[in-house]
Structure 1
Amino acid sequence: MPLHLLPRSLNYLETVARVGSIQAASRALGIAASAIDRQIIALEELCQTPLFERHARGMRLTSAGETAVLMARRWRADEARLEEDLRTMRGEQFGTVRLGAMDSLANSVLPDLIETFAERYSRIRFSVDIMTPKEVAHELEIGSIDLALAFNLPTDKSRHVLWSAPLPLGCVVGVGHPLWGAERTTLSEAAKHPLAVQSRALPVRGYLDERYGWLFDQAEPTLVTNSLQFLKQALIGGSYLAITSQLDTLRELEEGSLFFVPLADKNLRPQTISVVVDARRSLSRAARLVGEALSEMLPASLLRVSLSKKRDPPTPIRVLKT
């Protein structure tokens, strides 16, 4: 049974902050709105400061409220870890692993990971959130996730890196593109072709803007999207080129529907990919198993793609006219 160690007032506070109003929290918790309001008022009196700004359309956290909610979420995370540790001590292979990861892995590494654990450890559950690297760093800091799988995380003494590797940039193209099968290319050459790019909301675009923004001045992108999955489908047609890493298109490279051309520019700095945990908190047995699995699966997948021989383009499907 759940331990339910989080004080009632902090539970109500965190719920109101998450759903935006006392009425919405009442529906979510099945508790009378008046009871939730009384608990929050009592907590504000105890703290001697308002925790919410009350508006006609809902509740907004004050700075003090944000601090209190942060504590509540850490408390909840620690409660979950305690419950899992106790189960481990009783010999149960059990637990929920909270993982923050990148959208680029949603059709490759992550499904493989879930499938592997479903077969080997059926009682280990997953909570996987797709986040930006900035969001991952924040959630790891407050303890709401156990493991982070992210690009370009800066070094921090509070983080422990289980595995990390450089991710060289290259041009990804589909069947029929002039660069399909090329040994290497350059950014200047890439700029001669119609570009498909991720929007600035996504990690790799910010990375490219910061270091190679001139590329987009020289060649305005033909296609901009905030969906990596849509971008890859557009590339498969062969009309566009995207600058990214092999990991962003891992499944499609393995299947042969896309091709990766390394960039040969001097001083071109690669991205990084890392599996990271909070060094200040102990990992549950389940989270350790997941961290170990990711640290094996990711390099194996990258090596498999790197060593694969160049494929001939698939034969185009002819549409017969009637």
Structure 2
Amino acid sequence: MHSNEIRYFLAVANTGSLSAASKQLFVAVSAISRQIQQLEARMGATLFERHARGMVLNDAGQILENHVRKSMRDMEFAIAEIQGLKAVRRTVIRMACTDGPAFDLLPQVFARFRAINPGVMFYLNVVTASQIPEMVRSGDCDLALQFSLSPERGVDVLASYAAPVRMAMRPDHPLADAEVQLSDLHPYPLALNEQGSTIRQLFDLSCRMSGIFLEPALSCNRFSTLYDFMLSTPGAIVACSHYSVLFKARRDNLVIKSINIEQLSQRTLQLQTQAGRHRSAALSQFIDFICQQLETEGRAFIRDFAL
């Protein structure tokens, strides 16, 4: 479509008549009429209902107007982002996540991204797994990171990574050099997420199917509390994903153990956004960056901890 056709089409749609559009554009009525006719011929459909007092968009015209205005908005977004990048203007990326990624993973990823993009700021909202899908669908966040057991309606999953439940312990733990079975955990203080969390659901399901009863010494909805309890308590073990301790595990010289039970491998770590959502240049860059970090750091963790 030619730019004049679109420009004249929008002018008539806005003003409601050829004569009013002519005054607005300083173009002859005949020229506008001719461009509208050419556009309708190109579309293969009439776009206006012609009345004695003016012209009104019909259903086809409204569809075209919606698409044209969306394209114009997208172009404005692109121009604003390009100008913003050139001027190093501040950009805020709004994220939502569950408690696990907020403990270690995201602070490190934010810091690394800002080291090369100092104009980008982050707002992180830490919520429950049940709250995240609605936040994504409603556009209350630009991006979400959560452990998930099933797909969600109206949510685009940009990337997904296997996130089995693992056992983290201090290097002086009696099980540090052993292959660990679920029954081996019984004598030791366990730190587990609260009931209803995805990790607790899988852990409790595994116990029931194995005929094992394990009562946590500490149950909490904050992973930082569980983690500090494990570090401070002799013999303690905390159940987590390796993504929750992706960087701290090395710093604190932890031992990470897998338990070969199918139910403990049913979670994934998902990067999510609203279906059909416009992405700014900064957001697109961050999506590429966090996916690269999760991929490379995840592989390195599994290799280094022999998982």
TM-score normalised by L of structure 1: 0.63
Q: Does 1:100 align with 2:93?
A: no
What is the CA–CA distance in structure 2 between the aligned matches of 1:226 and 1:216, rounded to whole Å?
A: 26
**SS of equivalent residue, structure 1 residue 264:** coil
Which residue is 2:125 aligned to? Answer: 129
What is the CA–CA distance in structure 1 between the aligned matches of 2:207 and 2:285, rounded to whole Å?
A: 38
Which residue is 1:222 aligned to? Answer: 217
Gapped regions of structure 1 (runs ≥ 5): 1-80, 311-322
Amino acid at match of 1:204: I
**SS of equivalent residue, structure 1 residue 90:** helix
For the pair shown, which has the larger CA radius of gyration, 1 or 2? 2
Selected match of 2:192 from 181, 192, 197 = 197
Deviation at 1:254, TM superposition (A): 1.7
Cα displacement string for residues 101-155 of structure 1 (whole angstroms, at most 9, x for unaligned residues): 2322334322222222322222222111112222111100101111111101632
CA RMSD, Structure 1 to Structure 2 (Å): 2.9
Gapped regions of structure 2 (runs ≥ 5): 1-73
**SS of equivalent residue, structure 1 residue 139:** helix
Selected match of 1:241 from 232, 237, 241 = 237
Contact 2:170 2:254 in 1 (8 A): yes
Call closer, same or farther: CA 1:213–1:243 in 2, change over 3 Å.
farther
**SS of equivalent residue, structure 1 residue 219:** coil
Which residue is 1:74 aligned to? Answer: none
Amino acid at match of 1:134: S
Contact 1:162 1:276 in 2 (8 A): yes
Cα displacement string for residues 165-203 of structure 1 (whole angstroms, at most 9, x for unaligned residues): 111222221132211132x32212223433221222644
Amino acid at match of 1:154: S
Which residue is 2:134 aligned to? Answer: 138
Q: How many residues align?
A: 230
Contact 2:149 2:198 in 1 (8 A): no
Call closer, same or farther: CA 1:126–1:205 in 2, change over 3 Å.
same
Which residue is 1:41 aligned to? Answer: none
Contact 1:173 1:259 in 2 (8 A): yes
- Range 220-229 or range 88-97, more displaced: 88-97
Contact 2:243 2:298 in 1 (8 A): yes
What is the CA–CA distance in structure 2 between the aligned matches of 1:203 and 1:297, rounded to whole Å?
A: 23
Q: Does 1:232 align with 2:240?
A: no
What is the CA–CA distance in structure 2 between the aligned matches of 1:309 and 1:219, rounded to whole Å?
A: 25
What is the CA–CA distance in structure 2 between the aligned matches of 1:264 and 1:308, rounded to whole Å?
A: 19
**SS of equivalent residue, structure 1 residue 220:** coil
Residue identity (%): 21
Selected match of 2:182 from 187, 197, 201 = 187
